Structure 1
Amino acid sequence: MLDRRTMLTGSAAMTASLALPLGSGQAAEADVIVIGAGAAGIAAAHQLKAAGRRAIVLEARGRIGGRAFTDASLGPAYDAGAMFIHWAERNPWVQIARDLGIETPSESWGGGFRVFAGGQPMADADRQRRRGAFGQIDRRLETVDLAKRDVSIRDLLGDLGPDLAPIASSGLLLSIGEESERISARDYQRLWAGDDLLVPSGYGNLVARHGAGLDIRLNQPVSEIRWDGPGVSVTTPAGTLRAQACIVTVPVGVLKAGAIRFTPELPARTRDALDGIGMGALTKIALKVEGDRFGISPGTSFLEAGSPKRLMNFDLFPEGKDLIVAFCGGDHARELSAAGPAAARDHLTTLLSTMIGSDIRKAVTGISFPAWWTDPFSRGSYSVCLPGREAAREQLAEPIGGRLLIAGEATAGGGAMTVGGATLAGRAAAAALARIKA
């Protein structure tokens, strides 16, 4: 279980008016332009609207939700992105779901769990060895003093040796989505913990519903943000909009790729913060399965763990749906994303055929592969602080020029990597604008 210890600050209610007047002759279409209609952008826009401010949300995709996306392209729907309402005791989405009449039951694994190596059942001795390695990260975080020096998770586990250390850290591929040498131990240590809830009707659908009533404009990828005047101007294929301020909620991967040009360029301190944050590659691949279910109970999980670097979990027939959903992360997920859907389908069915039988190849009739790593509007699954750079999240959230803010799960402190954290960060950015003076 991730340990989410640190509280996100800056979520005060927005009570003061914006004090960012445009120069004479410049008409503003909005008080604030919000870039991105994911959880952070929606949260910021709702808070601005509640304070009587006009916010326009520009979304590059043809849908709302960002990396929270319930995909029904195969018929039965599944959450291709965010899936759990983490740390439910303080997650704002518990109340949002309740207000919308949407059920959020506790997590249930259903049909059991089996571990494989190379598609064959893992030997009991190897399973025991693997089980003994798990938990080493948390045990070390409880005893190691990181106050003086941050280290990577790989270095934290270095004394386990070359055989056990990769096993001990392999679970991070399916939670953080990144290789252990690229994960800050300090950043991991502060991540909030708590109960997880599910959204059977789709977390992505829930986020999209929460966007109702806002001025959200789809298919509007932003190419440039100018903040050299008294306000801001934002350019999309539809033209240029002006506002008093701008909240940028696109994923860090998009900013690092240079997809949006900033004029003038972002300050050195902001660019340095971006250099300290990477993007994980947690990936889901769904297969449509028709006909035989091979005697497998719905909700059964198969974990392929023969190679710690190529860990893959299969969720078979979740909630009784005709789907098998594969989870992978790190460099293995990047390789599959680059290879494309056809190669990914062949890889998965080959592995499943050794677990279930060769008839699975004929039973698989379709694939859904969002591939967040190669998606130009995400460039990864969620943010990961590099070793020694755990302060980059707070640094990235600092206001720029009195009129520009960056917000999202990457600036959510202990709530990073989650929809709940993105929501709190969006609210905090909207509140921060109220405190900025021209």
Structure 2
Amino acid sequence: MTDTMRWDPSECGELRMDSYDVVVIGAGFAGLVAARELALRGHAVVVLEARDRIGGRTWTDERLGRRLEMGGTWVHWLQPHVWSEITRYGLRVEASPVAQTVHWIAGGNAHEGSPAEFNALIAPAMDRLAADSRTWFPLPHEPLHRADLDWIDHLSVADYLSGLDLTPAEREVTTGVWAEHFNGPAAVSGLAQAMRWCAVASGNWQLLHQATSGHRLTEGTAALAGAIAADSDAELRLGSVVTSVAQDTGGGATVTTADGSRFAARQVICTLPLNVLDTIDFQPALPAAKLAANAERTASQGLKTWIRVRGEVPPFTGYAPDDHDLTFVHTECTVDGDTLLVAFGTRAADLAPDDVEGVTRALRAWREDLEVLDVAGHDWMSDAFARETWPMQRPGQLTAYLAALQEPHGAVRFAGSDVATGWAGFIDGAIESGLRVSRAARSALRGAGA
């Protein structure tokens, strides 16, 4: 543990500056895990979180008469890092309802069938993509293992599907499925990212669908975030908006917040989403590759909304092309005799998640028999501390930026689901990166005599 430096403002006119081994910026899962790992090993750690809560882009809130996930939700035993944390804290998971019917839109018309019929429709493209994923990503947690990834990384999912021998309906529906996965239009969704997802699911797209939307934490993601925070001796400061990180010649840094508070650190771990990396004034400036990735933004630009409809509706799923305001809807639970649906769209700029009329109109593309009572959601694209939903790469971003984004910048290290090597875009990826960067920070501290 390091000493704390304090200056009396009445004596010298300076704000008090506390000194820590590590300052962690952001209390999402990456930040919470990194802080826990370092604090449990005796380091003085403070976590600076801009929001009034922990969890980052996960947020369990009371809406529509039930505890709902406004952000990240699903977990699975195929995701090793998050499952280890669930086991560590004795948390429970529950299954999302299994759809009895699937509604999809193709050729401008609404169709209804069994899950088996829908899977048969998307299988030709999904089987091919899953098989190719095993070729290009033989070691899923080492995504840059192959040196020739440029062959696929420049392609979008739409590019790839257009080159396959598919019927118009197969191509249209599968394109919509991947647009939902990316929370963004298929034309800006990187093929390499899609293949990475298939690869970490053992090259099986049906396992991928189970892992990405099949199971949720019974007590919500807030329960896991809270358990990690409670298991840590790190100091947590909410409402602390970091504005600058200035590195000094001695190898440390000073972190300053919007209220003028200053924190001296030997190591800094930044877990901000890629799209808001430019909200901090880094001195010296970040390398060109990090700045370029931030400027390009991620592929995700969509929305998530919860919909309360009247009565108990048998479980169903709906898919639509990415030119629809909502591309996916699924039955999630019941409350007081009504049904709650969760839905996603690819363009938050075109539909607000709390727009009752707009959401109702979009839902009718699948079903006109449902009476919408209310909707609820959070606009992550307009959230000053996110500007993205779950992080998904555009074409070219894997080979151009991933390694550079993972590299430290002097005493500053970077973590988050955006820079995960395995389940990028998931809670699991955030935890993985938090573990990796905490190990690197500890090594640096020990090398400096800590």
The alignment's TM-score, normalised by the length of structure 1, stands at 0.80
* Residue-by-residue CA offset, 1:268-302 (whole Å, 9 max, x unaligned): 2332444566141353212345xx40x523xx124
Structure 2 distance, partners of 1:359, 1:184, is: 35
* Residue-by-residue CA offset, 1:377-413 (whole Å, 9 max, x unaligned): 1111122222122132222010111x10111111111
What is the total number of aligned residue pairs between the two structures?
A: 396
Mapped pair 1:327 → 2:343? yes
Contact 2:158 2:187 in 1 (8 A): yes
Q: Flag the 1:162–1:334 CA change in 2: closer, same or farther, 3 A.
A: farther
Q: Flag the 1:317–1:411 CA change in 2: closer, same or farther, 3 A.
A: closer
Alpha-carbon deviation of 1:325? Answer: 3.0
Q: How does 1:87-166 map to 2 (within 5 A)?
A: 88-105=77-94, 107-110=95-98, 112-117=100-105, 122=111, 131-140=120-129, 142-143=131-132, 147=148, 149-150=151-152, 151-160=155-164, 163-164=168-169, 165-166=171-172
RMSD of aligned residue pairs (Cα, Å): 3.3
* Residue-by-residue CA offset, 1:241-284 (whole Å, 9 max, x unaligned): 111111000111111xx222212211223324445661413532
Corresponding residue for residue 399 of structure 1: 408
Contact 2:104 2:111 in 1 (8 A): yes
Structure 2 distance, partners of 1:355, 1:226, is: 53
Corresponding residue for residue 433 of structure 2: 425
Corresponding residue for residue 7 of structure 2: none
Q: How does 1:32-431 map to 2 (within 5 A)?
A: 32-86=22-76, 88-105=77-94, 107-110=95-98, 112-117=100-105, 122=111, 131-140=120-129, 142-143=131-132, 147=148, 149-150=151-152, 151-160=155-164, 163-164=168-169, 165-191=171-197, 192-193=200-201, 196=211, 197-212=215-230, 213=232, 214-230=234-250, 231-238=252-259, 239-255=261-277, 258-275=278-295, 278-289=298-309, 292-293=310-311, 296-297=313-314, 300-305=315-320, 307-310=321-324, 311-316=326-331, 318=333, 320=335, 322-331=338-347, 333-337=348-352, 341=354, 344-352=355-363, 360-361=371-372, 364=373, 366-391=374-399, 392-401=401-410, 403-431=411-439
The alignment's TM-score, normalised by the length of structure 2, stands at 0.78
Q: Flag the 1:155–1:275 CA change in 2: closer, same or farther, 3 A.
A: same
Structure 2 distance, partners of 1:386, 1:429, is: 24
Structure 2 distance, partners of 1:114, 1:233, is: 54
Structure 1, unpaired ranges of 5+: 1-16, 19-25
Give the number of the structure with larger relative contact order, counting CA–CA contacts within 8 Å between residues 6 or more apart: 1
Structure 2 distance, partners of 1:353, 1:273, is: 38
Structure 1 distance, partners of 2:377, 2:17, is: 43
Comparing 166-175 with 418-427, greater Cα deviation is found at 166-175
Q: Which amino acid aligns with 1:327?
A: A
Q: Flag the 1:359–1:85 CA change in 2: closer, same or farther, 3 A.
A: closer
Structure 1 counterpart SS, 2:351: helix
Structure 2 distance, partners of 1:200, 1:173, is: 28
Structure 1 distance, partners of 2:131, 2:331, is: 35
Q: Flag the 1:375–1:117 CA change in 2: closer, same or farther, 3 A.
A: same
Alpha-carbon deviation of 1:182? Answer: 1.8
Contact 1:156 1:185 in 2 (8 A): yes
Q: Flag the 1:282–1:131 CA change in 2: closer, same or farther, 3 A.
A: farther
Q: Which amino acid aligns with 1:336?
A: L
